[in-house]
Structure 1
Amino acid sequence: MIIEDEQLARQRLKRLLATYDEIELIAEAENGMQGLELINRLQPELIFLDIEMPLLNGFELLAQLTHQPKVVFTTAYDQYAIKAFEEGSIDYLLKPIELDRLDKTIKKLKETNLATSSLSIETLLNQIQGKKNTKTLTVKLGERILLIKINDIIHIEAEDKYVFLHTSDGKKHLTDYTLAILEEKLPEDFIRVHRSHIINTDCIKEIRKGFNGALIFILNNEAKVSSSRSNSEGLRSRFGI
């Protein structure tokens, strides 16, 4: 069973799992409360569980289960790693999940005794070492994988189902990350000003007042990014406007 509140992340994991004949997906849930009800009713052997979700987070869900499946946590939050493994999970996948990393998890599931197996905290920390202070984001360009320095990113834009990184060299890179994941992974200098835009505050050249209280950010690459009305009050407070 997949329990994940982000539709795109849920679809991505479902698509990846479909490549494994030994995995049968019996249900999906889009929040913790729905996941709790489905687990207790359908009693799956294995769940892929997000941590930050509406109504109940992943740990709150586990605390209320009457049926205890094996757990693979899926999340963008590195800081939950130790607690996740204290909960006895089989593995811990950082989003966006890549097929080669998922493949290691599936092999681990097949090779170990699921009734007793769990990874140690030491093993987990070895797996995620260096990810807590991420300095780059990866993007795919054909057969190549490019490393984009976070400091080179001016703003991030969602267009339909795609997310692009706009960099200081004037280029536009397609990434597999969702804006929600990037909002949590990036440093505090990056702020979400609109449901479709994250900007690097170090790259703001000018701020103008727009229509209906919105703010218009003029960036170093001359891009103009408008805030949503719901975000404008917090942004005005942050920038002392």
Structure 2
Amino acid sequence: MQAILIDDEPLALRRLTSLLSHYPADVQVVGQAANGAEGLTLVRALRPDVVFLDIEMPLLNGFELLSQLEELPSVVFTTAYDHYAVQAFEECSIDYLLKPIEPARLAKTIARLRQLRPARSTAGLNLDDLGQLLQQLKPRETLRSLSVKSGEKILLLSMNDISYFESQERYVFVRTVEGQQYLSSYTIAALEEKLPEQFVRISRSCIVNTHHISNLQRYFGGKFLVTLTDRAASCLETGLAYGGNLKRLIEL
């Protein structure tokens, strides 16, 4: 089988090339590419039987590359994603190699590729589903501290010192346990994605630090009043669409 290797990590390419060299009767590496755009050009030109394909790459990721091909080769994803991705890849009837690639695991891939001969296309490949999988598996960039301006200074706030975030019109304010207020450069939606798990969104305009919740009180229409342990003993109202966040948190 003629193979193309596509990966933006030189060490990963060298390791895979070395490992595949132990299977000269099965695989002939006819080309390598260091990003998705180069890989697309190479696959179109050489029309290999199999592509060993990284997922996260510059210019085009692996799924974007495949979506632009008129004819799909057999695909083996080489990925750093953990075991949660494994079942999804298997269900799509494609193979995968978790980095760093182990010789024993590659041997199983080679055996599977032998069985696929002479088929050129990958059965069951659903690029839309795999694209959604990629988004779900991307590591969250979690904030460990928050920088805010105070006059001419830039302060770094510990997450434990933050009581809650509140948006007012176009601005988002940070409220601390000691009662200070600072302007944040993040939107509420961005904070919801980046904050540690101790922060929970309770309304369209508010995210609270659950470590500083004193008590909850049932309110009208399935809402709650959330009282915090900060100096101001802040009392916040949950929104209808977000009350479930707190319910799940405290198993009400």
TM-score range, shorter chain: 0.3 to 0.5
Q: TM-score, normalised by structure 2?
A: 0.44
